[in-house]
Structure 1
Amino acid sequence: MSRIAYGQEDFSLSLPISQSALVTAQAFAQQQPTSEKASRVLFNTLSILTVNYYLDLMGIETNLSVGDSWNPVLRLCTDVSDLEVSGIGRLECRPMCASGKSCYIPPETWNQRAAYVVVMIDESLLEAKILGFSPSVQTEELLVSQLQPPEALTAHIKQYQQNKQPVNTQTLVNLSQWFAGVVENGWQTVESIFSQPEYRPLYLFRSSESALINRENETMSAILRGKVINLGIQIANQPVILIVELIPQENQKTNVRLQLHSTGSKIYLKSGIILTVLDELGNMFLEAQSRSADNYIQLQFNGEIGEHFSIRVGLDEASITEHFVI
């Protein structure tokens, strides 16, 4: 393992490609219908195995087999190049040609990975260079000049792992129990929250209030519960109301609708409040951000019985997270 310097900004890390890695990549490539697709799969797989080898040297546990890249159907139908890292989720491992100045990142991976690692595969297929990584991506072309050094990747992963604290089962909100009338402390009916003048939104006219409160009667077995959330001085001591609506669906699925409302004398939510749904691994699944003229923001998704997720409400450096199981 050696560091290669091509210029002032270069901090790439050179690693050998093992015979077993090459055999695996070539086997995956041979399953593809066209030479173009075969080449893409070959280089994607070598990139993944290079990053996997490096993390193994650094003592970081990975799981190759659970990634989409090891699924033959997904490998055939999509452009996948992911690596599962224990405790944080997936890295995107992308190959780049020697003459390139940027690396293509598929839009479907944006905000879905713990980091994006760029790898250059030598034409001999005997050596690969990890050029660096980016913690996040918002564009299809990731510039090499934007990459952080490979050696910082392990620190990034460890920090990511530390930020994912285990969920205390005492704070886990069991949504299925809501249908049986069992509701955790802090969660109330919408009607009981709106009956308190300090929380009832000023913009909420009686007609719209009645529609929200009575929505449970409009769909069979629908449940609405709310919770007052206070981010303190970050929103000028003005609480917001998180409303969770559950609607049972077929095949043991549940439709979950989330709304975040302003309270009291505030007609609009403070601009920049972020409502985020996190999956079981803590990865961002859905997100909405309030604008200057939003009374409320909303997210909606379907989940299965037993599925875990979290809801985070945040503004600037302040945030509150609630953990749920359907």
Structure 2
Amino acid sequence: MINQIQKPLTFTVNLTQKAHQLAENFCNNHSNLQKSEQVYLNTLAIYSVNHYLQCLGFTTDWKASNSYDPIIQSFLDVADLEVINHGKLECRVVSPDAKFVYIPQEVWNARIGYIIVQLDESLETATLLGFTPRVSTEELPLNQLRKLEEFPLYLQQVTPPIDLNEWFEDVLQQGWQTLESLLNTESVGNFNLSFKDASYLQAEEIIEAVKRIEFENQSVLMLVALKPEEDEQINVRLRIYPDSENKCLPENIKLAILSDSGETLKEVTSRSIDNFIQLPSFRCNSQESFKIRLSLNGICFTESFFL
């Protein structure tokens, strides 16, 4: 019996006159020939991914993306597309004979994934080849892409990364609130002493935000404290406290910081007598990102952050 080799699932989009007109309108904003061509191809890739997502039932907002801004186009090689309630996807172009896809470092952060789009030589069709959740190299081999058929489920499970720059503008994302507002809205007596004493972390220009994390029949409070340093870095401290009705944390709750590839860099585990746990404080530079994982009894909660 001859084994049949199945080709990976792809999705092909016809590049209509509307697509080319939109690309033409964008590239006319740029006098540099190389930049104009880059913007044209990026626009066709975004158009294709936008059509694909709409077919899947996802809502997008291209106009809210950097790739829709001619000024940002001038300075960056960007092809992002905002997916409502999920975050930004990057749409990267490859030619028919390509073995690698080029992904510039300037788009390595603040992305929930990267979809690779192959344009035919006549620019009449665009084929979505696959995707990758993250990148750490400018040249990614196409044979390392995840299958496109896995993408819808992946996207359903993704939440947008937290932009910590917004916290310094007094803007907190959904589910987060300041430590001060939490203590003001709930009875202080309900909180354990260690949480009420978290104010000792406060110093000039520090930001403290709290999020309640639910685990089946119990919940905990995640505290993130930020403090700008003189060298333009941000000092980050992470703590987990019991929720208001509990004096101690659940035993064996694990708090970890992860690399972009998902590797555990540091991890701490609670004991039954712990009224809080924390990771060692660390510093972040601009354009850096990190992930936090909180797990208990096989249930995991992951949050992504970037500066």
Contact conserved, 1:47 with 1:94, CA < 8 A, in 2? yes
SS at match of 1:138: coil
1:297 to 2:280 alignment? yes
Contact conserved, 1:32 with 1:38, CA < 8 A, in 2? yes
Amino acid at match of 2:20: L
Provide the C-alpha distance between the structure 2 equivalents of 1:13 and 1:223, rounded to a whole number of angstroms. 45
Greater displacement, 152-161 / 94-103: 152-161
Counterpart for residue 280 of structure 1: none
Provide the C-alpha distance between the structure 1 equivalents of 2:187 and 2:284, rounded to a whole number of angstroms. 21
Deviations 1:14-55 (A, max 9, x none): 220011111111111121231111111111110000011122
Provide the C-alpha distance between the structure 2 equivalents of 1:317 and 1:140, rounded to a whole number of angstroms. 35
Q: Which structure: larger Rg?
A: 1
Counterpart for residue 143 of structure 1: 141
Provide the C-alpha distance between the structure 2 equivalents of 1:215 and 1:72, rounded to a whole number of angstroms. 43
TM-score by structure 1 length? 0.59
Deviations 1:88-114 (A, max 9, x none): 111110000122111112223335322
Contact conserved, 1:44 with 1:95, CA < 8 A, in 2? yes
Contact conserved, 2:177 with 2:210, CA < 8 A, in 1? no
Distance change (3 Å), C-alpha of 1:189 and 1:80: same
SS at match of 1:44: helix
Amino acid at match of 1:297: P
Counterpart for residue 24 of structure 2: 26
SS at match of 2:134: coil
Residues 141-290 of structure 1 aligned to structure 2 (within 5 Å): 141-160=139-158, 173-177=177-181, 185-186=190-191, 188-189=193-194, 216=202, 219=203, 245=225, 257-260=236-239, 273-275=255-257, 289-290=265-266
Task: Give structure 1 stretches of 5+ with no counterpart.
Answer: 1-6, 162-168, 194-212, 232-240, 249-254, 262-269, 277-283, 303-309
Give the Å deviation of 1:188: 4.1
- Decide which of 120, 131, 134 is 1:133's aligned counterpart: 131
Counterpart for residue 64 of structure 2: 66
Amino acid at match of 1:127: T
Provide the C-alpha distance between the structure 2 equivalents of 1:215 and 1:57, rounded to a whole number of angstroms. 48
Amino acid at match of 1:289: L
Amino acid at match of 2:237: L
Provide the C-alpha distance between the structure 1 equivalents of 2:91 and 2:283, rounded to a whole number of angstroms. 30
Amino acid at match of 2:36: A
Provide the C-alpha distance between the structure 2 equivalents of 1:215 and 1:107, rounded to a whole number of angstroms. 34
Give the Å deviation of 1:118: 0.5
Counterpart for residue 105 of structure 1: 103
TM-score by structure 2 length? 0.62
Distance change (3 Å), C-alpha of 1:120 and 1:176: same
Q: How large is the Cα RMSD of the aligned pairs?
A: 4.6
Sequence identity of aligned pairs in percent?
A: 30
Give the Å deviation of 1:70: 0.5
Provide the C-alpha distance between the structure 1 equivalents of 2:37 and 2:62, rounded to a whole number of angstroms. 20
Provide the C-alpha distance between the structure 2 equivalents of 1:95 and 1:44, rounded to a whole number of angstroms. 7
Deviations 1:99-144 (A, max 9, x none): 2111112223335322210001122121111111122323222221
Contact conserved, 1:15 with 1:50, CA < 8 A, in 2? yes
Question: How many aligned positions are there?
Answer: 246
Contact conserved, 1:17 with 1:127, CA < 8 A, in 2? yes
